[in-house]
A and B are shown apart, each in its own frame.
Chain A
Amino acid sequence: MRLRLEKRIAVPPRVSLMVAILSLVLAFAVFSIVFLQSGINPLTGYKEIFRLAFFTKYGLYKVIERTACLLPLTLAFIIPVKAGIWNIGAEGQFYMGAIAATGISFAFPNLPMGVLIPLMILGAMALGGGWAAIVGYLKGKVGVNEIVTTLLLNYVAILTSYTLVVNGPWTDPTRVPYSRQIPANGCIPQIGNTGIPYTIFIAIGLAILLFFFLKKTRLGYEIRACGHSPAGARYSGISFLKISLITMLIGGALAGIAGFHQASGVLGRLRYDISKGWGFYGIVFGLVAGLNPLIAIVVSFFFMGLIYGANNLQMSPEIGMKFGGAAVFIGVMFVIFIASQFFLRYKIRWTRRGG
């Protein structure tokens, strides 16, 4: 007997769901080691993660607020990769969006909210998109490896935020190293007293819109053609430069919106640590979502819930200060979910050996 791999022709939804559940179980099993090290019963730990994230009002609102950030970041990865372009730079584009939004609010503090906020969103999309489009242009025109350039430009973007807020022109003298507060009319309102900014509707709306964009539009077709076969797309008269520019522009603009959300809707200012590596989470979420913008809504909500729960286990009366391993939890979960992709693409069969 030996193992044989067969490529799956199609993945039934049932299989995807099973693989996701099994991955989760496996991740939990592995991470139990860390719980046990800290003297926590793993079952209590996981129960508390779910409870804090999905079954407390405060937690649920927080998770939705973060979904509003992570969903556009996930889409920022999905759209370019559909054209075969690996945007590993959502992190930097996110910073650029936050910088633009903050900068505009400082430049026009007296504009009415109805003008200032759209202006900030547009600015965030423009700077995030423009930042990404540099990479798109270099990739399409000269063929520069976009993975490396996006990674490098991330640091330039992050360092730009440092320059601005750490003893820089925007520094809040009372709260070094953060920027001054964004004026009140530059802060996007929150739904009731949930603490969730209205950006959540923008995020979900964009996910739905992009789903149909990819599926139904001419440009969506051109993007998918490039992703599946650059040579075939070129033969059909599709300009790779155009697609590379457009998809990176869209991706960057999406990440920019997330930056706007975080600065204007959540923190009310620019911080050098405005992202916690979230731009990279989007890559994993996008992959787990099977590059489907609609599924990305569910995936980013669910994962941000687990992450929120793990990050805030100290708030649980049953666990308290015993736990600090949320970062490990994220790492373990991501690696196992990445590994699980294999089972979506292959069937494993035991076969009798011939010959």
Chain B
Amino acid sequence: MGFFTMTLTASMFFLLPALGELFDQRSGVLNIGLEGMILMGVLAAVATSTETGNVWLGVVAGMAAGGLMGLIHGFLSISLKVNQVVSGTGIWILGVGLTTYYGLAYVGPVKHTIAPIIGGLTPLFFVGLALVPIFWFILSKTSFGLRVRSVGENPSVAEVSGINISRTRYIGVLVGGMLSGLAGAYLILAYAPSWSISWRVPVTEGRGFIALALVFFSMWRPFLLLVGSFAFGTLWIMGWYLQTVLPGIPIHIFRMIPYLVTVAILVLISTERFRKRAGTPAALGKPYFRGE
């Protein structure tokens, strides 16, 4: 695979969960359990495709598993009004637990994978690419999108306008979870089709957290998210690449770059000049209580 194809492939793994998280956050729910949902997607996808021999059923199963985890997060943080950070942490630990246990049976190279169609890229890549304008359109041009954004900005206003807050947020976590699950399926069936489990570094290698940070980086705009994903995909692949060019330096140093760059970008967009334009959903992270 060429450097460019590798970059695009890697980027898509950031884009998919980040897009879901963007949608989720626009409705006011922060989900730091992304990584756990992606892992569940990986597990469901690899299990289903191995058992049925059909990769597309694997993709569907991955999305379903991610969506289910999203609904659990929703139940905890929307219905039970538990703090979203704590709920996300729990979801993540649960996801890691389920994956390490039930994934044991599928360790090794994946039997059925999704074949590339154009230039080394799989159909899932193009699906992900198409989702960007679709999400943009839904969020900024449709009535539904306006409702989602309003719930994330000011749920009590949305409620008096006749919007069901819980339902809208549940849709948010569901979409977020499904896209994370899709990312998991993409990872294991198309991108890196080998399932290994070691404690510290599950297959996702912590990239779910970069995806989370990317949402902040994108200032909640799908097209900026696309740009960010490509930038971080490039950085990620550069790590491998630079290692071959500069063999004296350990790869882990390069691996740090995306994380450090993300921190730097977060600092930048938090400064006075950018904060006003950033458009952080005002109700992000806050549970909604009626009549308070």
Closest beta carbon of chain A to B202's beta carbon, Å = 11
Query: Of all chain B residues, which has the CB nearest A86?
Result: B85
Most chain-A CB neighbours within 10 Å: which of B80, B101, B102, B255? B101
CB atoms of A277 and B93 under 8 A apart: yes
**A334-B93 in contact given A86-B85, A151-B209, A155-B256 (Cβ < 8 Å):** yes
Bound CA span A252–B270, Å: 23
**Interface residue? B76 (CB, 8 A):** yes
**Interface residue? A195 (CB, 8 A):** no
Closest beta carbon of chain B to A305's beta carbon, Å = 18
Which interface class (under 10, 10 to 19, 20 to 34, 35 or more) fits A? 35 or more
Bound CA span A276–B201, Å: 11
Given the complex, which residues of A lie within 8 Å of B255, measured CB to CB?
155, 159, 162
CB atoms of B86 and A287 under 8 A apart: yes
Q: Interface stretch among B11-19, B45-53, B261-269?
A: B261-269
Given the complex, which residues of A lie within 8 Å of B96, measured CB to CB?
277, 327, 331
**A327-B82 in contact given A143-B275, A276-B199, A334-B90 (Cβ < 8 Å):** no
Closest beta carbon of chain B to A345's beta carbon, Å = 7
A interface majority secondary structure: helix
CB atoms of B252 and A166 under 8 A apart: yes
CB atoms of B209 and A338 under 8 A apart: no
Q: Chain A 322-355 against B: per-residue CB contact (8 Å), 1 yes, 0 no?
A: 0011011111101100110110011000000000
Most chain-A CB neighbours within 10 Å: which of B83, B97, B255? B97
**A284-B90 in contact given A168-B250, A273-B200 (Cβ < 8 Å):** yes
Closest beta carbon of chain B to A112's beta carbon, Å = 34
**Interface residue? A36 (CB, 8 A):** no
Closest beta carbon of chain B to A5's beta carbon, Å = 9
Option from A88, A143, A273, A324 in Cβ contact (under 8 Å) with B101: A324
Residues 255-285 of A contacting B (Cβ, < 8 Å): 272-273, 276-277, 280-281, 283-284
**Interface residue? A107 (CB, 8 A):** no
**A142-B263 in contact given A334-B94, A335-B72 (Cβ < 8 Å):** no
CB atoms of B263 and A149 under 8 A apart: yes
Given the complex, which residues of A lie within 8 Å of B259, measured CB to CB?
152-153, 155-156, 159
Query: Of all chain B residues, which has the CB nearest A161?
Result: B252
Bound CA span A341–B84, Å: 12
CB atoms of A142 and B90 under 8 A apart: no
**A145-B216 in contact given A155-B209, A338-B87 (Cβ < 8 Å):** yes
- Using a CB–CB cutoff of 8 Å, the interface residues on chain B facing chain A are 30, 32, 72, 75-76, 80-83, 85-87, 89-98, 100-102, 104, 198-200, 206, 209-210, 212-213, 216, 250, 252-253, 255-256, 259-260, 262-263, 266-267, 270-271, 275
- Using a CB–CB cutoff of 8 Å, the interface residues on chain A facing chain B are 34, 86, 88, 138, 142-145, 147-149, 151-156, 158-160, 162-163, 166-168, 272-273, 276-277, 280-281, 283-284, 287, 324-325, 327-332, 334-335, 338-339, 341-342, 345-346
Q: Name the 5 nearest CB pairs between A and B, nearest first.
A: A331-B94, A331-B97, A327-B97, A342-B80, A162-B252
15 contacts between A and B (CB under 8 A): A34-B101, A144-B270, A148-B216, A148-B262, A152-B260, A163-B252, A168-B250, A280-B93, A284-B89, A284-B93, A325-B101, A327-B101, A328-B102, A338-B82, A342-B80
